Structure 1
Amino acid sequence: MIPPPGTGAFLNAHGWGGAAVRPLAGDASFRRYFRVVLADRTAVLMDAPPDKEDSRPFLAIAGHLNGLGFAAPQALAADLDQGLILLEDFGDARVAPVLAHDASGEAEIYAAAVDLLAALHQHPPGDTAPYTPAEYLREARLFPDWYLPAVGLTEAPGYTEAWAPLWPALFTHPPVLVLRDYHADNLMLLGRPGLQQLGLLDFQDALAGHPAYDLASLLQDIRRIVSPALEAAMIARYIAARPGLDEAAFRTAYAILAAQRNIKILGVFTRLYVRDGKAAYPRFHPRLWELVSANLAHPALAPVRAWFDAHVPAEARRGVAVGVAVPAQ
């Protein structure tokens, strides 16, 4: 992976001239990441092409989180015209690979992640756009817009209407900052005390919404299986940390948001394959369907479950086959 044009001049201008620039793992966006090494100093260079990525929300949310005492990467330098940002380096101890190597600390790490959410949700969301019913629906519609054509189906009537009675349950709690991709691949072990023991990544799409969203994102992880027992224990831990919470309303919202998120991701991962040529993503479809099947069993999801039962047969729930030509949108 070659660093973007202008990297050398950017680093020279900010005191990192002559540094080595090494590629790091990226994410599902157009952003790319590099580690910058100069003597005993390191930083992370984020390349976010300005014609494809707006980095201003990332910087704003990072500042908000750091101001509240949480650990988001500090911006060391930025050139938004080029889409280059130099960030504090959180190291390599991402929670997912750490637990893949040694799962003995799983319960402790997830407890810390849940406690972080409970602490974050004590604060107002700041100057963050709201998660609206229109946005929840737009996301849910990624399933019929992308997944269904990829498995040879057309959308049957009633999909939008099936979701409509569920949205009010997501507005029974004052809005909190929803990071939207809060899971083991976006959490770093920093070895710091208190709220900064976990470093936060990939929060630039944050919105103000229901507190159950990020909990569902953490505990119904697509890439890393969280056992039902651990999921139940961590939901109970979160509820215990928020004594004023309406538990029944929270659990209903959790079920709805878990379903909405997983159904959305079926569409997102199909789009990444069909439109962007990223062949790795269909391998997650079987795991997603396991989660969706469990999600739809909740009584609150009855209208959506009825639509799926009527219009998405079992053979269409096996995922998109890699290498099969599918219609681009």
Structure 2
Amino acid sequence: MTQGDVISLLLEDEAATLRLGNDLALALKAGDCLALSGDLGAGKSSLARAFLRTVAEDDGLEVPSPTFTLVQSYELRIPVSHFDLYRLGDPSELTELGFDEALENGICIVEWPEMAEGELPEGRISLRLEHEGSGRRATITAPEQSASRIRRVLAIRSFLADAGYGDAERRFLTGDASLRAYEYFHLGDGTRKILMDWRPPPEGPPIYDGKPYPKVAHLAQDAYPFVAIADALRERGFATPKIEKVDYQQGILLIEDLGTEGVLDDEGSPIVERYRESVACLAHLHSMQIPQDIPVTATHTHHIPEFDRTAMKMEVRLLLDWHIAWKREAPPSDAEREEYLAIWDQLIDELRSAEKTLLLRDFHSPNIIWREHENGVRKIGLIDFQDAMIGPTAYDLASIVQDARVTIEPDLFRLLMADYLSLRRAQGGFDEAGFMKAWAIMSAQRNCKLAGLWVRLLQRDGKPGYLQHMPRTLAYLKVALEHETLAPLREWCTRAGILPVES
């Protein structure tokens, strides 16, 4: 294989070997080949078993040795094929065993890789186990990117050990469209802890005023905003995770588990009661003023950024830069771009008098936890607010009543809007007409952004699944454009072919 980074670990006992298998299962991804070598009894099979049980999320998973069958395949979250080549007659037989197909679709664990050295991919991860004292020495050689992932899971293990959970059996929870990923583990009493893996993002290319997209759009680049907003909201009675431990430099957080119930039923449809409670929670939040500067540590204060003109226009440019070329197979003309951005300048001017306070930014089904046994606003668990800004409150209402990932039927949409407006009227001093204008603008802004984002996730990031949300997004946009203030944008979208021509 090609020379790569080398990681050397002393495994004190059998439990440490199992933990390494557990950790590697969080590091490897489809297309990875893990080649395990070492003498008989060195722990290869134990490590492979721990790896497979982690991916399966099943501590009792039967993992028979593939010594005689040569390969054992498992259809798991990531498919895994476990090869034992000790009895391989000829290296060329590896192809007959379906190795290439297994590697294309999942992860391959290979014991006794020496038996087919020339047939294995050069970019494999090689792990050698050798006896050392009363324990074992694990030497991992891997390409740079693979080694980086492995070092990351080992850093998280060290973080957990410092927090008193060094023996935790880690399990994958979820990833999202960003660089964040989540794990969980259970304590002896059955309670669950959540770990947020938020790797420091690479500095992207400058796209505006010498700044990369995340900085222009005010997207959080470290854990300080998450901790600041979580604490500020929790102090005001909202349900946000308590932060047990955080490493700001590495971007690793150990946080409270607010629960596993969401606001959708088993078929993925909205549960009316839960959406209504979510809107009530939002109305309560909008009655408050959250300070823009929140102390986080003795040396760091988080300044909540404003959802300003630059950020709004940067987001709506996604429609120009990605959606139109995808839909028409040709980019917009310079005249189209100029007119579109001029329209948005006018619409943003209309927001000058809009009510403004904290925007959670992505207040919709993936980020809402239902807490049945709590009362009031604490029924709604909030888990995604690191990108919060100060701006028009109407934005978050648009996020929930036009849920980007769930179809909100017109009857439910009207009910949720009526609930929110009724609660806000009861608070007093509510400019309903001004709010509804801001709602239409913010809905259009959000859906123009999403119409471009879904295409960018497809074409740039290789994530086609998000494209399923496109018809819904355009339908939501059409609703927003019904407001008289948005007539110029409605006409532009119709001419551009984004909306159908009205009969």
Q: Give the match's secondary structure for 1:20.
A: coil
Higher helix share: 1
Q: Which runs of 5+ in 2 are unaligned?
A: 1-24, 28-152, 203-220, 293-303
- The structure 2 residue matched to 1:116, chosen from 276, 281, 294, is 281
CA distance in 1, matches of 2:236, 2:266: 28
- The structure 2 residue matched to 1:198, chosen from 380, 389, 396, is 380
CA distance in 1, matches of 2:393, 2:376: 21
- The structure 1 residue matched to 2:247, chosen from 62, 79, 83, is 79
Question: Does structure 1 residue 137 correspond to structure 2 residue 322?
Answer: no
CA distance in 1, matches of 2:369, 2:498: 40
The 5 A counterparts of 1:239-278 are: 239-243=421-425, 244-278=429-463
Deviations along 1:194-233, one digit per CA (max 9) or x if unpaired, are 2211100211111111111111100001211112122112
CA distance in 2, matches of 1:129, 1:296: 27
- The structure 1 residue matched to 2:495, chosen from 302, 310, 320, is 310
CA drift at 1:193: 1.5
Q: Which residue does 1:2 correspond to in 2? A: 26
CA distance in 2, matches of 1:273, 1:313: 18
Q: Which residue does 1:176 correspond to in 2? A: 357
Q: Which residue does 2:291 correspond to in 1? A: 126
Q: Give the match's secondary structure for 1:95.
A: coil
The 5 A counterparts of 1:145-294 are: 145-151=321-327, 152-156=329-333, 157=335, 158-190=339-371, 191-243=373-425, 244-294=429-479
CA distance in 2, matches of 1:174, 1:192: 30
Most deviating of 120-129 and 204-213:
120-129
Question: Does structure 1 residue 45 correspond to structure 2 residue 213?
Answer: no
The 5 A counterparts of 1:8-87 are: 8-40=157-189, 41-52=191-202, 53-87=221-255
Structure-2 change in CA distance of 1:314 and 1:166 (3 Å): closer
CA distance in 1, matches of 2:290, 2:455: 31
Q: Which runs of 5+ in 1 are unaligned?
A: 316-329
Structure-2 change in CA distance of 1:101 and 1:282 (3 Å): closer
AA aligned to 2:193 is A
Higher strand share: 2
The alignment's TM-score, normalised by the length of structure 2, stands at: 0.59
Q: Give the match's secondary structure for 2:287.
A: coil
Deviations along 1:52-111, one digit per CA (max 9) or x if unpaired, are 542211111111111111011111111122211011012211213x464786xx332122
CA distance in 1, matches of 2:479, 2:352: 23
CA distance in 2, matches of 1:70, 1:208: 18
Higher relative contact order (CA 8 A, sep 6+): 1
Percent identity (aligned): 36
CA distance in 2, matches of 1:39, 1:117: 36
Q: Kindly report structure 1 stretches of 4+ aligned residues shifted beyond 3 Å.
A: 98-103
CA drift at 1:34: 0.5
CA distance in 2, matches of 1:292, 1:54: 32
CA distance in 2, matches of 1:192, 1:44: 20
Q: Give the match's secondary structure for 1:46.
A: strand
- The structure 2 residue matched to 1:94, chosen from 232, 243, 262, is 262
Instruction: State whether residues 184 and 194 of structure 2, in contact with CA within 8 Å, keep that contact through their aligned partners in structure 1.
Output: yes
Q: Give the match's secondary structure for 2:183.
A: strand
AA aligned to 2:442 is L
The alignment's TM-score, normalised by the length of structure 1, stands at: 0.89
CA distance in 2, matches of 1:251, 1:90: 33
